[in-house]
């Protein structure tokens, strides 16, 4: 018999969840933007900075050795979390940093030229779009996109005709940060592999919710960020297959990534150090690993079932409120507990403020996905995104608040 998920025990680990907003208990439904941090992460960073802080991979002193050990242990933890080897994990400043590294490095390597094609989806976060736009612009390659259907799923028939002999890169989100839909990784990888294209997975929104086994996934490269998976800001990871990372030149250059330097040239260390120029985000790496250890210590099967129930409750509840339009409204796809919606006659920013006045924190705007909003004829939407600590009561508080929005703003009421 499986025990029910003990969400109260999880919540006790997050000091911020005791916050009140305008006399209302905080209902934090903005984890898709950034997650809250459990005490284990706060403690790990503070402990590192107060006990072991030193620059890593340099210095012969005791603290430097300890800091280096903690930093490299963190890499092992992150690697284990995604089913990878530590040498395949490159520290980045976040997913944006990782994607810029990949696109920039492919550009430096001369891997794209005029006539080549880069394929993305219409559901990209700008972080997985603009680096490819730049690469295309600089190399003369063509950027193409797999359209999103009305129900939010990818048009896989279109993908079939788009991905072809000219495709050199296929970059796509595991989970859209607007639609919450899990994209068919295996199908996309199979299409890319059939034409020898490199696959780049943006795992930002899946890492907090789904078990990742990147080695088994078939993708070549993947990025995710610490701050969305209960870890600190300013740290993320790029994962790559050995042969893929080996073949990439560095994107940023400088200290700590070389074997020998003369006034004329430099020889580089192998991955991952080749991609880690300059002083690294050490306390953040330690905090990132603490977050993943904390997450790994939870009952993840029960947590997943809990989050799946929240997702259904949130989506069905929103569906039942008149004047609400869901973005990506389908039961046919696997999803995470993240849902964007528009309220008929009320601007997303007004909705956000109204919800905030009831203690409910959501994201409003285009969520760094303007093309996707344009595809749905919108400039902005409201996004609610849950986390492992979200309760059923919080979802109900949110739904109750949303159901009061239109009457508060007089929307849909005859003048
Ligand atoms: C799908 C997706 N990709 C990329 C990013 C950028 O991540 P980071 O903040 O780590 O740069 C985000 C953040 O919102 C995201 O949701």
Beta bridge partners of 25: 20
Using CB distances shorter than 6 Å, the residues near ligand 1 are 94-96, 125, 127-128, 173, 177, 202, 204-205, 225, 236, 368
Contacts of 156 (CB under 8 A, 6+ apart): 146, 184, 187
Q: What's the 131 CA to ligand 1 centre distance in angstroms?
A: 13
Stated length of the chain = 415
Q: What's the 127 CA to ligand 1 centre distance in angstroms?
A: 6
Q: What's the 97 CA to ligand 1 centre distance in angstroms?
A: 10
- What is the β-pairing status of strands 117-121 and 324-326? unpaired
Q: What's the 2 CA to ligand 1 centre distance in angstroms?
A: 34
Q: Which atom of ligand 1 is nearest to the CA of 96?
A: 11
Burial of 4 (0-12, 13-18, 19+ CB in 10 A): exposed
3-class DSSP assignment, residue 27: strand
3-class DSSP assignment, residue 100: helix
Q: How far apart are the first and last CA of the chain?
A: 57
Residue nearest to atom 16 of ligand 1 (CA): 177
Segments of the chain with pLDDT less than 70: 1-3, 413-415
Q: What's the 308 CA to ligand 1 centre distance in angstroms?
A: 22
Q: What's the 180 CA to ligand 1 centre distance in angstroms?
A: 13
Beta bridge partners of 171: 200
pLDDT digits (tens, 9 = 90+) for 368-379: 999 999 999 999
- What is the β-pairing status of strands 363-365 and 324-326? unpaired
Q: Which of 31, 91, 94 to mutate to test the pocket of ligand 1 (most atoms within 8 A of CB)?
A: 94
Nearest to 77 by CA among 300, 295, 299, 293: 293
Q: Decide if 368 is catalytic.
A: yes
Query: pLDDT value at position 60?
Result: 85
Buried b (16+ CB within 10 A) or exposed e, 89-103: bbbbbbbbbbbbbbb
Question: From CA 103, how far away is CA 106, in angstroms rounded?
Answer: 5
Instruction: Check 368, 380, 384, 386 and give the catalytic one.
Output: 368
Q: What is the 3-state secondary structure (H, E, C) of 204-238?
A: CCCCCCCCCCHHHHCCCEEEEEHHHCCCCCCCEEE
Query: pLDDT value at position 62?
Result: 94
Contacts of 307 (CB under 8 A, 6+ apart): 209, 336, 337, 386, 387, 388, 390
DSSP 38-73: -HHHHHHHHHIIIII---TT--SSHHHHHHHHHHHH
Q: Which atom of ligand 1 is nearest to the CA of 175?
A: 1
Q: Which of 205, 208, 226, 235 to mutate to test the pocket of ligand 1 (most atoms within 8 A of CB)?
A: 205
Q: Which of 200, 208, 225 to mutate to test the pocket of ligand 1 (most atoms within 8 A of CB)?
A: 225
How many other CB atoms sit within 10 Å of the CB of residue 330? 15
Q: Which atom of ligand 1 is nearest to the CA of 202?
A: 3
Alpha-carbon torsion, ordered 241, 245, 247, 251, to 10 deg: 150
Q: Which atom of ligand 1 is nearest to the CA of 97?
A: 11
Burial of 2 (0-12, 13-18, 19+ CB in 10 A): exposed
Residue nearest to atom 11 of ligand 1 (CA): 96
pLDDT digits (tens, 9 = 90+) for 383-405: 999 999 999 999 999 999 999 99
Q: Which of 127, 132, 383 to mutate to test the pocket of ligand 1 (most atoms within 8 A of CB)?
A: 127
Q: What's the 213 CA to ligand 1 centre distance in angstroms?
A: 19
Q: What's the 174 CA to ligand 1 centre distance in angstroms?
A: 12
329, two tokens: 């409204």
Q: Which atom of ligand 1 is nearest to the CA of 367?
A: 14
How far from 358 is each of 144, 145, 351, 400, 404, CA to CA, in Å?
42, 39, 11, 10, 11
Nearest to 210 by CA among 311, 138, 356: 311
Question: From CA 411, how far away is CA 402, in angstroms rounded?
Answer: 13
Beta bridge partners of 338: 385
Query: pLDDT value at position 58?
Result: 80
Please name the residue ranges forming H helices in 109-221: 130-139, 156-162, 185-194, 214-217
E strand or H helix at 379, and its extent?
none
Buried b (16+ CB within 10 A) or exposed e, 376-413: bebebbbbbbbbbbbbeebbebbbebbbebbeebeeee
Structural domains present in the chain: 7-30+299-408 (3.90.1150.10), 42-295 (3.40.640.10)
Question: From CA 307, how far away is CA 392, in angstroms rounded?
Answer: 9
Alpha-carbon torsion, ordered 43, 36, 129, 341, to 10 deg: 180
Question: From CA 165, how far away is CA 116, in angstroms rounded?
Answer: 9
């Amino acid at each position: 018999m499986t025990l029910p998920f003990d969400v109260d025990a999880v919540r006790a680990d997050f000091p911020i969840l005791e916050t009140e907003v305008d006399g209302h208990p905080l209902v934090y439904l903005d984890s898709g933007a950034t997650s809250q941090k459990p005490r284990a992460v706060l403690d790990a960073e503070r402990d590192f900075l107060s006990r072991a802080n030193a620059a890593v991979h340099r210095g012969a002193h005791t603290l430097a050795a300890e800091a280096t050990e903690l930093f490299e242990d963190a890499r092992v933890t992150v690697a284990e979390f995604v089913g990878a080897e530590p040498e395949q994990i490159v520290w980045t400043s976040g997913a944006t940093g990782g994607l810029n590294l990949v696109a920039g490095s492919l550009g430096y390597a001369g891997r794209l030229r005029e006539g080549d094609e880069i394929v993305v989806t219409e559901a990209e976060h700008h972080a997985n779009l603009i680096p490819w736009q730049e690469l295309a612009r600089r190399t003369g390659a063509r950027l193409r996109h797999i359209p999103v259907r009305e129900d939010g799923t990818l048009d896989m028939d279109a993908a079939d005709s788009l991905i072809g002999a000219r495709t050199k890169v296929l970059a796509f989100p595991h989970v859209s940060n607007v639609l919450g839909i899990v994209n068919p990784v295996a199908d996309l990888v199979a299409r890319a592999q059939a034409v020898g294209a490199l696959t780049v997975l943006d795992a930002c929104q899946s890492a907090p919710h789904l078990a990742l086994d990147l080695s088994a996934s078939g993708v070549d490269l993947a990025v995710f960020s610490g701050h969305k998976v209960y870890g600190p800001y300013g740290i993320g990871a790029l994962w790559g297959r050995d042969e893929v990372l080996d073949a990439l030149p560095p994107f940023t250059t400088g200290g700590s990534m070389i074997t020998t330097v003369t006034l004329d040239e430099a020889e580089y260390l192998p991955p991952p150090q080749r991609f880690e120029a300059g002083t690294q985000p050490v306390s953040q790496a330690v905090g990132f690993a603490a977050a993943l250890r904390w997450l790994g210590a939870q009952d993840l099967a029960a947590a997943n079932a809990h989050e799946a129930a929240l997702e259904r409750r949130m989506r069905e509840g929103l569906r039942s409120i008149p004047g609400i339009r869901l973005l990506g409204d389908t039961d046919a796809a696997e999803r995470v507990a993240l849902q964007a919606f528009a309220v008929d006659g009320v601007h997303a920013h007004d909705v956000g403020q109204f919800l905030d006045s009831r203690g409910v924190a959501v994201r409003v705007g285009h969520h760094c996905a303007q093309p996707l909003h344009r595809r749905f004829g919108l400039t902005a939407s409201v996004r609610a995104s849950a986390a492992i600590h979200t309760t059923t009561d919080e979802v109900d508080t949110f739904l109750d608040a949303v159901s009061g929005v239109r009457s508060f703003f007089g929307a849909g009421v005859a003048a």
